[in-house]
């Protein structure tokens, strides 16, 4: 190998990581990677665990540092400004409130260099502040690709710093609407469980019973409507972990409706009769991903300190989904 190595990827295995072959570990971590490419990199000596070159069958364990290094720098690219329409709910000299559509990726990443929210932001707004990651100008927080709803964007460095601290200090009230599988036992409740990367599938998160593994996560919920086989809820977050609502409700045994990654994209409640199954399949077709919408944001303005509250309607596909379940539930009660 060259006397100069350039780090392309670096991952630290979570405390709860069970021994896993390094090729499988990297396959779960590196988006769009193929097993063949990973194994080739390992054979060429480009993969290290705790700074030691390893073979494919090496087992990655808790707290191990896995790096992928090459003899040339990691390829860089410039963010492309794209004239993509944005749903702007509010704007002033310091902040922008965006209502993101389901299906839009928030920021560029491997395999998604264009057509993201950031590509649209840098077209419509100049000189957005850069935080730790230069690929995410203006972003204070994010929501998943298939989650719709409200995001706050900072227009200057001062606003970014203040808003980032508000998120860290849990001084921003965020409320989500979700449709989950099953009939929740209680009308309201709190889910507390540390969240971290799944030990085997690194692309999703999981809840750990051991308080020393993962990061503290707290979600509060209340039931809005019950449809017997599904339940419409409002969820308020105390913390902002990756996939927090999705992981917490999977852990509770009530994954989000049509959430493929967390087991909600199949018939989980109800009968196996063809008519009901077809109804559920038709519901899946309405929404492209998990039934989750970031409905409201409430916080103090970073400059004026004035209390601000923003609320959004459910997108049409989500509202149609709710209407279908409501009608089905009413018909079931009438016929029973």
What pLDDT, on the 0 to 100 scale, is given for residue 2? 45
Start-to-end Cα distance in the chain: 72
Q: How confident is the model at residue 73 (pLDDT cuts 50, 70, 90)?
A: low
Q: How far apart are CA 224 and CA 228, in angstroms?
A: 13
Q: How far apart are CA 13 and CA 2, in angstroms?
A: 26
pLDDT at 53 over 60: yes
10 Å CB burial of residue 155 (0-12, 13-18, 19+) is buried
Report how far apart, in Å, the C-alpha atoms of 250 and of each of 203, 268, 314 are. Answer: 15, 12, 22
pLDDT tens readout for residues 105-125: 998 876 667 889 999 999 999
Q: How far apart are CA 164 and CA 161, in angstroms?
A: 5
112 pairs with which residues across the strands?
Answer: 109
DSSP-derived secondary structure letter, 41: H
Catalytic-residue membership of 14 = no
pLDDT tens readout for residues 217-239: 999 999 999 999 999 999 999 99
Given a contact cutoff of 8 angstroms between Cβ atoms, the answer to whether 143 and 167 are in contact is no
Give the mean model confidence (pLDDT) for residues 27-52: 84
- 88-168 architecture in CATH? 2-Layer Sandwich (3.30)
Given a contact cutoff of 8 angstroms between Cβ atoms, the answer to whether 6 and 71 are in contact is yes
Q: Which residues contact 20 (CB under 8 A, 6 or more apart)?
A: 59, 60, 199, 200
CATH class of 6-70: alpha beta
What pLDDT, on the 0 to 100 scale, is given for residue 58? 94
pLDDT tens readout for residues 126-143: 899 986 666 789 999 999
What pLDDT, on the 0 to 100 scale, is given for residue 191? 95
What pLDDT, on the 0 to 100 scale, is given for residue 218? 94
User: Which has more pLDDT, 213 or 21?
Assistant: 21
Q: At what angle do helices 274-286 and 316-335 cross, to 10 degrees?
A: 160
pLDDT tens readout for residues 83-96: 999 999 999 999 99
Q: How far apart are CA 100 and CA 102, in angstroms?
A: 7
- 88-168 and 173-335 agree in CATH topology: yes
The CATH homologous superfamily of the domain defined by 173-335: Pseudouridine synthase (3.30.2350.10)
User: Which has more pLDDT, 210 or 67?
Assistant: 67
What pLDDT, on the 0 to 100 scale, is given for residue 111? 64
Q: How confident is the model at residue 18 (pLDDT cuts 50, 70, 90)?
A: confident
Q: Which of 92, 144, 169, 173 is catalytic?
A: 144
Ordered by start, the domain boundaries in the chain are: 6-70, 88-168, 173-335
Q: Which residues contact 102 (CB under 8 A, 6 or more apart)?
A: 145, 146, 147, 148, 287, 288, 289, 315, 317, 318
pLDDT tens readout for residues 282-328: 999 998 899 999 999 999 999 999 999 999 999 999 999 999 999 99
| 86 φ/ψ angles, rounded to the nearest 5 degrees | -125, 145
């Amino acid at each position: 190998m060259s006397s100069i190595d350039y780090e392309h990827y670096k991952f630290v295995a979570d405390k709860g990581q069970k021994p896993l072959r390094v090729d499988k570990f990297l396959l779960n971590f590196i988006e769009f990677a193929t097993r063949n490419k990973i194994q080739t990199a390992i054979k060429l000596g480009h993969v290290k665990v705790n700074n030691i070159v390893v073979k494919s069958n090496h087992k990655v364990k808790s707290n191990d540092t896995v790096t992928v290094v090459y003899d040339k720098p990691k390829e860089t690219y410039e963010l492309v400004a794209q004239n993509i329409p944005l749903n702007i709910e509010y704007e002033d000299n310091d902040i922008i409130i965006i209502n993101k559509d389901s299906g839009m990726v928030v920021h560029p990443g491997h395999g998604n260099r264009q057509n993201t929210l950031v590509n649209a932001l840098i077209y419509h707004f100049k000189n957005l502040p850069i935080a730790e990651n230069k690929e995410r100008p203006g972003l204070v927080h994010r929501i998943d690709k298939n989650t719709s709803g409200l995001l706050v964007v900072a227009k200057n460095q001062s606003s970014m710093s203040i808003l980032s601290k508000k998120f860290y200090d849990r001084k921003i009230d965020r409320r989500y609407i979700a449709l989950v599988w099953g009939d929740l036992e209680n009308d309201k409740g709190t889910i507390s469980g540390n969240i971290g990367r799944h030990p085997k599938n690194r692309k999703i998160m999981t809840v750990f019973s051991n308080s020393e593994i993962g990061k503290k996560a707290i979600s509060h919920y209340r039931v809005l409507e019950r449809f017997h086989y599904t339940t419409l809820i409002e969820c308020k977050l105390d913390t902002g972990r990756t996939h927090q609502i999705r992981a917490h409700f999977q852990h509770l045994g009530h994954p989000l409706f049509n959430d493929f990654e967390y087991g909600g994209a199949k018939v989980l409640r109800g009968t196996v009769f063809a008519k009901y199954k077809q109804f559920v399949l038709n519901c899946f077709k309405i929404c492209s991903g998990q039934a989750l919408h970031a409905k409201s944001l409430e916080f103090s303005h970073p400059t004026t300190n004035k209390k601000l509250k923003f609320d959004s309607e459910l997108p049409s596909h989500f509202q149609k989904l709710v209407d279908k379940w409501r009608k089905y539930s009413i018909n079931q009660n009438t016929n029973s």
